[in-house]
């Protein structure tokens, strides 16, 4: 995914406010071999870009001063109640250096599983994203997880799925077997006591009318 940035010379609260009033977003690019660089982006173009999942989870091509660099979105500050991006941070990436990124999990097939289709179970998505480490070229936009083989009472863990080539999970002391992605539970049954109470209330109401 590609976006265009422009060099920014002034910094500070006043300069940033003037940029926002002009429909621009102040930002910074850091990391890699270069020095931190102040940038600005067109707000409307950025607002549309941040609605796309890939902008948050993939390596981006940033065009700046006629050159293209690969970067990752690292921080995004949004106004608490306005549809306005206040500031944005990017990190440069090197093709030979591994990066750490949170990747969305795309679940599919649960409607075809016996757990849902036959046993009318509920499928809980415990994790919606997974932190991984890999080279920029191996970074997937999303990780697909097939749920078509789920059965009643089953649990899907990280150990049960195959990650894309070159992608390693960041488990932070946990094991793949302990990292639960999806659990299957039976739907809550209606309590018979509630139905009985409702039935007893009807004759009592009729008696009150006499």
Residue 130 CB-half CA count within 13 A: 33
Residue 203 lies in a domain: no
Residue-level pLDDT at 190? 45
| Residues 54-81 pLDDT 10s | 999 999 999 999 999 999 999 999 999 9
- In the chain, what are the helix, strand and coil shares in percent, each to the nearest 5? 25, 40, 40
Do 120 and 40 belong together in one domain? no
pLDDT of residue 200: 54
Query: Would you state the pLDDT for residue 85?
Result: 95
138-153 pLDDT, tens digit per residue, is 999 999 999 999 999 9
Please check whether residues 8 and 34 belong to one and the same domain. Answer: yes
Q: What is the pLDDT of residues 163-210, one digit of tens each?
A: 999 999 999 888 888 999 999 998 866 445 445 555 555 554 455 554
Considering its fold, how many domains does the chain have in total?
2
Domain endpoint, select from 38, 59, 92:
92
CB atoms within 10 A of CB 196: 10
**Lookup: tokens for 38:** 């102040």
């Amino acid at each position: 995914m590609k976006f265009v940035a422009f060099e920014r010379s002034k910094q500070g609260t006043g300069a940033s406010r003037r940029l926002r009033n002009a429909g621009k977003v102040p930002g910074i690019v850091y990391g890699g071999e270069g020095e931190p660089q102040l940038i600005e982006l067109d707000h409307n173009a950025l607002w549309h870009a941040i609605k796309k999942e890939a902008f948050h989870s993939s390596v981006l091509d940033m065009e700046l001063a006629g050159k293209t660099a690969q970067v990752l979105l690292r921080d995004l500050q949004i106004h608490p109640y306005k549809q306005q991006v206040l500031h944005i941070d990017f990190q440069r990436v090197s093709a030979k250096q591994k990066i750490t990124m949170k990747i969305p999990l795309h679940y599919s097939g649960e409607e075809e599983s016996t757990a849902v289709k036959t046993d009318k179970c509920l499928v809980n998505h415990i994790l919606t994203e997974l932190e991984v480490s890999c080279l920029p070229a191996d970074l997937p936009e999303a990780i697909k997880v097939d749920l078509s083989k789920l059965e009643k009472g089953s649990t899907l863990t990280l150990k049960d799925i195959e990650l894309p080539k070159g992608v390693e999970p960041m488990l932070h002391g946990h094991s793949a077997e302990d990292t639960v992605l999806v659990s299957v539970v039976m739907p809550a049954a209606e309590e018979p006591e509630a139905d009985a109470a409702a039935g007893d209330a009807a004759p009592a109401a009729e008696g009150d009318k006499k």
